[in-house]
Amino acid sequence: MLPFEPPAQDDQSGNRQRDAGSDQYVSNSLQDGNAGASELSGPRIAQVDQHIAMYEAMSINHELEQRAVASARAIAFVHFDMTSPKNNIVEALVHQGDLIKIDRGLYVLIESDEDQRRYSGRIVEGPFFDPDVLKRDSTPVQFIILHQGQGKRLSLPEYHGRIHIELLGEEVNGLLYPTTRRPRPASPVFAYQSSMMSDMLHLRGNILLGQLDTYKDVFVHIDGENKEYLPRNVLTVGTVGSGKSNTDQVLIEETLAANYAQIVVDPEGEYTLMDKPVETAGVQEMLALYGRAPRGVPHLTVYRPPLCGSKRADAVEFSVPFDSLSPELIAEITDMNETQGMRFTFLYEQAIAVMRKEGQGPAQIIGEEEEANLSRGYPGITLDFLLDILNQEFAHHEYKREEESAEKGKKSKGAAKSDDTSDEAKKVLPSSEVNFYCRVHRLKPLIEDQHDASSYGALRKKLRELRSTRLFDRHDAPKLDMVRLSEPGHLTIIDMSDCDDREVKNIIIADLLARMYRYKMDLDEKTNKQRRVMLTIEEAHGFVSRENKGKMEQTLSQLQRIARRGRKRWLILHFVTQSPQHLPSELFELANNKIIHQTTGTENLRVLKLAAGTINEGIWDEVPSLGIGRAIVVSSQYPHPIMVRIRPAASQRNYTL
């Protein structure tokens, strides 16, 4: 706004007049006061002294002066709205000399002086460049651009930058609130000082992730002591080579340092060398920026499944207690069809009846609060016991068949009908029949005809295949000890790199989840916090996927219960995948904390968009090209999704192709 008014048409005297509405002098003419002069008389001599005196006599608008001084620090100014504006996006123009101060991800303060409001925002797109006067597609501009190089250097026309700013809220008394307004045009845009970022974005905590993108002196932490943040489950996604494994390793290192226990289901054996310091050239200098140094984790134990090797010679072989999993869960994981699943349930119930008659196991297995929330197998039941019952059933069925055949043979030879009671009394039963469990415990046999024999025969074959894995109830390979696995600062790696059997992998994961959950359920609040556990499942889409979730209802239901109730007891699930499109939507809902690395593929991006909530489109556009180590972090700790450069891991990783 100019501090003077234009000259009146009928005033050619050149005299200064006092404006009726203000104390400011205004200029009535730019010509001198010579009498008889004409407007068309040609150039006139400027009355410099006269105009200087006029401006000196004008009263000073201190408010305008203060705003002008303050605006000198601005890096941009809000522009008028675009053709298709969005409520949460404003466009701002940047002077050519200030373009060096612009970075995507920079947090800014917008002071809307006209309505006395302050807005916080983040640059999400730009800077884009436009000529000041000429149009970008004009002939002179195109000529200048096309004739650069080839031994020539033409001067560019003056230009400016355009940026798009995402409005994060309105600042009132130092607090950020949702806004229903927008800053006015020409509002100055200021860069926040980096010293304000930690408090403004709630970046403090005891678990260091890395640097806030575009800020070399602002570090991003998660508060591992606050139950509202980290105990909520975590999802990490990213394509191969995006830095996803490094992020997992950093999270492992930092949680261990915060006295969490870490359990990692490692399908490739990547993390089996984490007790050794990283040896990659140049990493020491990079770690120093974060106050870290190359260092292996102090307490590491590597376990391997039965009949599987490991990348570590000191890996400990383990087995799984068959009774830790419900029969429904076992039927799902082993891909039993409907008939096999039904027969397996009958067999399981028959085995329970035998154990009860023999005084084994508890009086009841259903009805307790814990059982209602997370079903388990019948205590003490084993796979060998089920197969023994089936073997007795088949022996009895074969004996009956032979007896019936012999009886038919006698009748066909015209043998006289003998007294049944007398024959029965004289008949000597084989030991298999004498000790047949149904005869001993007065139970009805499972196999009564050939149809039953055929169905149970298929089931016996599947159970024998399961026994051949040597996975269950081994005296020479004890089960995993939940007390040992939950020790503060202890890292447990389940090395699956030599295990190609999907069923074995999934049984191990299901057992680990179920028994750790039950162990944590039995602890009081104080002990639970002392024994905080993060359980990382790499390649989570292999455990339960969107495609087979209809066949994995029990598995998914168990996972949901553990995820929802476990976090209240400091049991955190960490799902890791490079194929988010294959994960069931239920898993996205369970993970309140999300770390999104570079991800490609239309379907992958679509499901992530639905799961991650309100992430600006400009930021989403960067996801396919984030590069190594950059990630979008979504957490209830932060007021909005933030971009982070994850620090390098301090321990060694066993790189795999």
Are the beta carbons of 507 and 318 closer than 8 angstroms?
Answer: no
Q: What three-state secondary structure class fits 172?
A: strand
pTM over 0.85? The answer is no
CA 103, CA 122: separation in Å to the nearest integer?
10
- Is 68-192 in CATH node 2.40.30? yes
Q: What is the mean pLDDT of residues 497-504?
A: 92
Task: Give residue 368's pLDDT band: very low, low, confident or very high (50, 70, 90).
Answer: very low
For helices 383-412 and 338-357, the axis angle rounded to 10 degrees is 100
Task: Give residue 527's pLDDT band: very low, low, confident or very high (50, 70, 90).
Answer: very high
Q: What is the mean pLDDT of residues 582-611?
A: 88
Q: What is the mean pLDDT of residues 20-36?
A: 43
**Lowest mean pLDDT across 2-6, 258-262, 588-592:** 2-6
Write down the pLDDT at residue 439: 92
Q: What is the mean pLDDT of residues 25-47?
A: 51
Q: What is the mean pLDDT of residues 532-558?
A: 86
Write down the pLDDT at residue 117: 94
Where is pLDDT greater, at 368 or 436? 436
Write down the pLDDT at residue 154: 83
Most confident of 401-410, 541-550, 579-588: 579-588
Q: What is the mean pLDDT of residues 128-132?
A: 94
Write down the pLDDT at residue 371: 40
Write the CATH number of the domain with boundaries 229-320+474-646: 3.40.50.300
Cα angle 543, 545, 548 (rounded to 5 degrees) comes to 105
CATH 2.40.30 maps onto the chain at 68-192
The amino acid at 253? E
Write down the pLDDT at residue 656: 54
Write down the pLDDT at residue 552: 79
Cα angle 555, 581, 641 (rounded to 5 degrees) comes to 100
Percent share of the chain, pLDDT over 90: 59
Write down the pLDDT at residue 365: 47
Task: Give residue 370's pLDDT band: very low, low, confident or very high (50, 70, 90).
Answer: very low
- Choose among 20, 186, 182, 193: nearest CA to 106: 193
The amino acid at 535? L
CATH 3.40.50.300 maps onto the chain at 229-320+474-646
Task: Give residue 611's pLDDT band: very low, low, confident or very high (50, 70, 90).
Answer: confident
**pLDDT per residue as tens digits for the range 331-346:** 999 999 999 999 999 9
- Does residue 374 have a pLDDT over 70? no
Where is pLDDT greater, at 501 or 610? 501
**Lowest mean pLDDT across 42-51, 166-175, 398-407:** 42-51
- Does residue 218 have a pLDDT over 90? yes
Write down the pLDDT at residue 278: 95
Where is pLDDT greater, at 580 or 547? 580
SS3 content of the chain, % helix, strand, coil (to 5): 35, 20, 45
- Does residue 606 have a pLDDT over 90? no
Write down the pLDDT at residue 23: 43
Average of per-residue pLDDT values in the chain: 86
Q: What is the mean pLDDT of residues 48-75?
A: 75
Q: What is the mean pLDDT of residues 547-560?
A: 81
CA 90, CA 166: separation in Å to the nearest integer?
7
- Does residue 4 have a pLDDT over 70? no
Residue 471 CB neighbour total at 10 angstroms = 24
**Lowest mean pLDDT across 141-150, 206-215, 363-372, 487-496:** 363-372
Sheet bearing 533-537, strands edge to edge: 219-222, 207-212, 642-646, 630-634, 591-596, 233-237, 571-577, 533-537, 261-266, 491-495, 300-304, 316-317
Write down the pLDDT at residue 255: 97
Task: Give residue 273's pLDDT band: very low, low, confident or very high (50, 70, 90).
Answer: very high
Q: What is the mean pLDDT of residues 122-143?
A: 92
The amino acid at 115? D
CA 284, CA 281: separation in Å to the nearest integer?
7
Write down the pLDDT at residue 168: 92
- Does residue 34 have a pLDDT over 80? no
Write down the pLDDT at residue 555: 84
- Choose among 291, 294, 253: nearest CA to 271: 253
| Helix residue ranges per DSSP H, 358-382 | 369-373
Cα angle 228, 230, 231 (rounded to 5 degrees) comes to 75
- Choose among 138, 125, 48, 219: nearest CA to 645: 219
Write down the pLDDT at residue 42: 61
Write down the pLDDT at residue 245: 94
- Does residue 64 have a pLDDT over 70? no
Are the beta carbons of 464 and 236 closer than 8 angstroms?
Answer: no
**Lowest mean pLDDT across 34-48, 143-157, 423-437, 631-645:** 34-48
